[in-house]
Each structure stands twice: as C-alpha cells, then as structure tokens.
Amino acid sequence: MRTISVLDILEEAAARLPDKVFLQDENGELTYSGYRMEAIRFAFALHHELNGEKKRPVLLFMDKGCRCAVCLAGVIYSGNFYVVMDTKTPIDRFESTLETLGDPVIVTTAAELNILRKIGYQGGALIYEDLMETVQDDNAAVETVMGIRKGILDTDLMYVIFTSGSTGTPKGVAAMHRSVVDYIESSIECIGIEEDDIIGNQGPFYTDIPLRDIFMAMKAGATTCITPQRFFMSPKKLLSYLADHHVTKLMWVPTAYRLISQFDALGKVKPAEIKKILFVGEAIPIPVYRYWREHYPDADYRQLYGPSEVTGVCTYYRMTRDYEDGESIPIGRPFPNTGILLLDEDDKVIPGTDTEKTGEICVFGTCLTTGYYNDPEKTGKVFVQNPTVKEYPSLVYRTGDIARYNEEGDLVFVSRKDYQIKHGGRRIELGEVETAFQSVGGLRAVCCVHNRAEDKLVLYYAGDISEDALPLEVRNTIPKYMIPAEYHKLDSLPVLPNGKTDRKKMDSWVNGTAGR
C-alpha cells in the first residue's frame, strides 16, 4: 500500500503490533492499537465540533505526554494540521502565533485551560476531556475517520512549528505529509531505530521532536518513553527514570547530555540498557562526548544535523573513535533522497574535494518544508532557486549554516552565517572560537559574543576554571586576535525551551536589549 501520510504508518503498525506498548509517560501507557483508537476518537469529536471543516490549524496548548501525542495523530485523522504551543509561552508570543495562523482552533485540557487564562488569553478553547466524552460509538468514529483519511493528500499540511530563529520574531515552519514520510523512510536506516528499541524522549512536542520520538518510532515498531521535562533539572532522577523504563536509545540536544556529565551523574546511576546515543540540535562538545563514551564504550554514537525547515534532520555521522581536543566532530553526509550544496559567497558550488573553503549549507529535495506559514516574504528569502539549475523551478533552502568538507568528504559544521563577524579587520567565525574553548578541561559550556560597539570578543562560560587562566589554555589553538578580551563566568549558560543555547540573550547582555 502506498504511504501518503503518517496515518498509513500508524495503521500498519497497529495492525502488526496491536498489543505492543507504543507510548509510556509517568501517568500510564498506550499500546499501538490503543493509541490508534484514542486518536480516532479525538478526530471524530473534533470533526463534529468543526462541522466537518478540514485543513484548519488546530493549536494544542498542552505539555508533552501521551495525551498530547494522541492529539497529534487525532488532528491529522480529522483532516487538519496541528500546532503545539509551549504552555509557558508569554501572552505576546501567543497572540503573535494566533495572528499568523489566522483562525486556529484551540484545544487544551481542563487543567491547562487555567494556565491559558493566567497568561491573559480569554478567548474560546475546546477541552480535550469534554471532546472525548462526546464519543459514544467507536464503530461510527472509525467509519467516519477512515473516510476522512482517504481524502488526505501528501501535499496537505501536517503541522506548523513556530521557531524564532535569529530574528526573535516567531516563524511558522509548515510541513506537508510528503516531506514527513520521506524524512521517516529515508532516515530510519541512518538513525538506526529498531523494533526492540525503547526511546527516551527529551525534547518538547512544540519542536520537531515528535517526528523522531513518535512517528519514526512508529515506523520501526519501537516504544517511546516520554520523559517528564522537570527531570532534566535533576540528573539522578532522570537516569533512574530511564533505567526503570529500560530505555535503549537517546536522541537529545547536547545541553541534556552536558548536564549529566557536569554532575558525573552516570557515576551514581547508570542505566544498563542504553546502546544508542544520538546528538542533535547543536554540535556535541568533545569533553561531553568523551564522558559518555567512557561510560558506554560499546554504544552506537551518531551526530545529526538539520534545521526545522528541512523537516527535521538531513545529515548524519557515525562516531567510531575518540577525538582530540580542538577537533570538530563532522555532521557527516546527507540522508538518502536529500541533496546538499556547499555554496561560497558567489553562490559557486564548493566541491567535496576542497577542504580549505567554507560555504553555506543549502539543502534540496523532498525533505524541504513548504516554507513559513502566512509569510511569503520570509519564505522567499531563504527558499530560493537552486543556482545550479536554470531550466526549471527547483528550490534549495539556505540554512545560514557555514561548513566545510574534511579529508573524508564529510561535512564539518563551522558556524552560523550570523556568527561571522569582522573583528580588527579580520573575518572571524565565533563558532571556531567556541570550539577551541570547548576542549578546555573543566569547562561545561561556552558562548562567544561580539561587542560591536567596542569591537571586542566576549566569552560567557560555565565551568571550574578562573577567568585569568582561560586565555592561556587556547593560546596554542587559535590565533591571538581570536582570543576574547573579556570573560564572564556563569553557573550555567541560558538555554531556550528546546534545550539549545540562548545566544540571543547573551548577545543582548553585551549589545543592548535589541540583540542581533
């Protein structure tokens, strides 16, 4: 049977593994067949509440958990597309999201409705519990929803993810079923998910995490353990939770791995069944990778790369050795059915044999999302005509990420285009400065910021080393003109809700509230 949407993947998995546990959270679990039925019941109730309307945005104001996961598939079953909202979002960002979406349907729980009211929203919202209580006939629900499913096209939207990026203004990345299915099918072999895996979820559902932790697991017939977000502030509780749920696979941002290494938590509680460890979102610092490898020397390690605009992740690299201080772990090669160009400042393609030049990573193929929802101007700036194709329309996404090739032909991330600066008349990659400091023993996290008014480099860091000693540690690694003039030690660097370093906040400390 042809796979049009993730619903086809769910139908196959529920038929093949009806009684296998698919999702676990701290409140319970759902089998594959149970998850399917709950999603169908929700879709049926939503369908009637909307009087049969389709292709509308359905905003889920819910924390991650089995219930929110049910709603993801349920919204799709109803013929609409989902938008998950952080329940800690401020009212201004919430209202900006509503404005971009136009006329979204808001679904929340009875408990989370109180949070919605507290942040200042007084409009209408559907209550999940009330919707589910309206479904009295499961057979009627299945018949109606299966009819809706037949009308779904692979070019219909599946979700919109709001990400602020470097501008601070929320942008809604809109993905259709076609790119999601392609992503799942192309990458599952590269990421290495298998039926006996239990995935330890880390990220929130308002990012593209569900694509990996839920829908990719669904394709493999694996189990996903949805880990409470609060545990990521308590390493021992987190590791005990993973051990109790027999987790075998982690796909986390480096901040989460770093927290555990910072407190040597694996020296106190070590989950015995972890065998696959993937780094995603940002480059993993060498000391953090080394710490995990010391505790799990036989695990399968992979670094993944990809922005939300290309439906998740688009390159992978399998790590099979230790790395020297100052080395950069490659982001590797593209997934099957994904194309990547490295373009120089003149939009000329840098060949894979050229290890000297750096260029912007540009991605093309079915993996591309449709752009930014209700924002053709921003879409047109980064989803552009492939400069190597003149004869017909062919889009590439300009990621804004700078990379180079190594001797093996793998891509190595260098920095963000936004982080290329002119300092003392020289062009500097702030990412290169950070890589040098990440190798310093005792440092847990670093972020380099350019003070534009005074043209000097400022380093924020967390770790057990004095500010005076830091410049001496990197004097043989980077040129003198790249060594920061100012250092600020913090207990921890600020992070965004998705776990990535909040560079914009530190930039605002140095350059004023306007930031970049």
Q: pLDDT for 58-100, tens place per residue?
A: 999 999 999 999 999 999 999 999 999 999 988 988 999 999 9
Residue bearing tokens 């499961």: 138
- pLDDT at position 164 is 63
Residue 355: how many CA atoms within 13 Å on its side-chain side?
A: 6
Question: Smallest Cα–Cα separation from 200: which of 257, 253, 255, 242?
Answer: 242
User: Over the stretch 326-360, which tens digit does the pLDDT of each residue have?
Assistant: 788 999 999 999 999 999 999 999 999 999 999 99
Q: Would you state the pLDDT for residue 155? A: 97
Are the CB atoms for 383 and 375 separated by under 8 Å? no
- The helix (H) or strand (E) run that includes residue 91 is helix 91-101
Question: Which residues of 366-405 form beta strands (DSSP E)?
Answer: 371-372, 383-385, 395-405
Rounded CA-CA distance 485/382 in Å is 34
Whole-number Å distance between alpha carbons of 150 and 376: 30
Mean pLDDT of the chain: 93
- What phi and psi, each to the nearest 5 degrees, are found at residue 430? -60, -30
Identify the top-confidence range among 35-44, 162-171, 185-194, 451-460: 35-44
User: pLDDT by residue (tens digit) across 373-430?
Assistant: 999 999 999 999 999 999 999 999 999 999 999 999 999 998 888 777 878 777 787 8
The answer to whether residue 486 scores a pLDDT higher than 50 is: yes
**pLDDT score recorded for residue 422:** 77
| Same fold? 6-223, 302-347+354-372+390-415 | no
Task: Band the pLDDT of 503: cuts 50, 70, 90.
Answer: confident
Q: How confident is the model at residue 1 (pLDDT cuts 50, 70, 90)?
A: confident
In the numeric block, which tokens belong to residue 403?
A: 């990379």
Q: What is the pLDDT of residue 127?
A: 98
Q: What is the structure's pLDDT at 444?
A: 84
C-alpha closest to that of 285 among 261, 250, 269, 265: 261
| C-beta of residue 411 within 8 angstroms of C-beta of residue 332 | yes
The length of the chain in residues reads 516
pLDDT at position 70 is 98
Band of pLDDT at residue 516, cut at 50, 70 and 90: very low
What is the pLDDT confidence band of residue 500, given thresholds at 50, 70 and 90? confident
Matching residue, tokens 């067949």: 33
**What own/partner pairs with CB < 8 Å and gap ≥ 24 does 19-24 have?**
20/221, 20/223, 21/223, 22/217, 22/218, 22/223, 22/224, 23/66, 23/69, 23/214, 23/223, 23/224, 23/226, 24/66, 24/223, 24/224, 24/225, 24/226, 24/245
Q: Name which of 493, 492, 367, 481 is nearest 433 in CA terms.
A: 481
Out of 3.30.465.10, 3.30.300.30, 2.40.37.20, 2.40.50.140, select the CATH number for domain 424-511. 3.30.300.30
Amino acid at 165: G
Residue 418 main-chain phi, psi, to 5 deg: -65, -25
> How would residue 515 be classed by pLDDT, with cut points 50, 70 and 90?
very low
Helix axes 177-191, 6-16, angle to 10 degrees: 50
Among 249, 252, 224, which residue's Cα sits nearest to residue 300? 249
pLDDT band (50, 70, 90) for residue 250 = very high
- The domain defined by 6-223 folds into Rossmann fold (3.40.50)
Q: How far is CA 453 from CA 120, 449, 511, in A?
A: 38, 12, 7
Cβ atoms of 20 and 12 closer than 8 Å: no
Here the tokens at position 313 are 């992740």
3-state secondary structure of 30: strand
Domain boundaries, the chain: 6-223, 302-347+354-372+390-415, 424-511
| Residue 263 tokens, joined | 């407190």
Residues 6+ apart with CB under 8 A from 263: 235
pLDDT at 168: 52
HSE-up of residue 396 (Cα within 13 Å, Cβ side): 20
Residue 165: is its pLDDT beyond 60? Answer: no
Query: In the CATH scheme, what is the code of domain 302-347+354-372+390-415?
Result: 2.30.38.10
Task: Using only the alpha carbons of the chain, give its radius of gyration.
Answer: 23
d(CA 412, CA 354): 12
Res 271: pLDDT: 98
